Structure 1
């Protein structure tokens, strides 16, 4: 080692926008104002893309530009949803016990014991049949205990080395470092619509700040664009998404991961459209719901559709007709709708 060798400067990227403006050679990656990589598809270090790009997605369903031409109005907004963390009452903890016969048992506060089991077998180079992972009742998880974590590997290895049970319980500060919380997401939403509030086309772009590691980031990236079509009829839809690595604790799955951020953006934009057109936001949503038994533009099948009845109940119970736009200065009343996938039923 040469102590006099000059240090190579490393650029610190603290958010996804910094990566989005970066270039790798002559290939500019996708960024909010559009760029050379905006319609590309690839993975980190492939096709001339920056190695800080974790996932790029580009999907189009129908002729979106034709939909914008058919629209009576087009609106484009930029939204940012700040990230947050799970904060379960119980911190991450694990206890390992290596038996004299070579078998290993791990008790861990985990939501994904099978992933932990696979990781232990790979890292410790042990036959999977000699490892037992017991997921103890969680004192809260919400997605934050869905990754295999280093403390689970450490207690297992230390127990094998010492022949003694070993336990690690993370401090609250260490839990924040593990993170895997909700992604901060920058979103650009371009929507074509008619004066009755019906949507003719939408182009949704999302830019996910992934933190230092991948976690469930590929799924989160897809989720930021997958479910906009299932509440209101959107006949033509285009989605561009990118997740980037930044110098932060890694983001991951948290409570419907990848969907609260775009739903926030879409619902706020719908309120802006309703205000612009002089329509009641509740009535505008009710008039353009995706019908039951239908297939969305991006080929998602809608079974039952109880959102209309739900909105009706909310309007009635909240006194919407009597209170909306009629409250004192500084007071307001609003509503928003959301959706998520289910494999039940």
Structure 2
């Protein structure tokens, strides 16, 4: 973007991006390719400045404004040398805020090894020479408040300087001098009033811009606050839903644990009852077996007693027979 930023009147231009034509208000024109490479402000801001075989990506783009856009962007700021303030952007690192001379030094210091640096430096040098060759305009003010332009330019060769006509002498009266001073004072007062009116208009514009900025800021704050509150409400709702879901799951889990505990206790009671029944059955069987064994022992004792008695009887009978035999 060039530092030579001019104010355009109702000029007819055509944008290469969106094909809009007519008074574009704010447009960008290549300082090397000229009007053949022109983009409206929106297309240039969106990065639609597409290079081609002739139009290189490092070509500086000159921004041109009409009067309305100049007032909008610069709030009535005075032009320097007939041009609005502007700055360059480095095509190699996209750093902003350079004048032509600063960009030249920046490229020499930071990007001297870039393959396209010599071409850009040549373009900047040509623009520098063109700037030196243009007229230098400045404004000076007289004591009476009048302003005039002093134009300093290179003298044109072979041009005859017109001679100022000699005015004949004239006697000026005191009344004429007073009338001229009075007229000059009236012009001074009129100019001061006009300047005050212009200053009031500029201050009104500044106040309007400040008011709009405050409105936009307040609207942004309000929207941001509403969005944050909405997000917080959604977050609280989600958190409560998650907590409720977790409570429900924990409740179900506790119920399952309680059912499992009751089942285990029932199983334990059943097993304990079964064990007690088995113990009772075993005790009954043991008592019955002991009883049977006692009965068998009694039976055995009885039989043994019978056998002993039989044996004693047999022995008695044998003893009786023996004496009988010895006597015979």
Which of the pair is proportionally richer in helix? Answer: 2
Q: TM-score, length-normalised on structure 1?
A: 0.18
Which of the pair is proportionally richer in strand? Answer: 1
Q: TM-score, length-normalised on structure 2?
A: 0.19
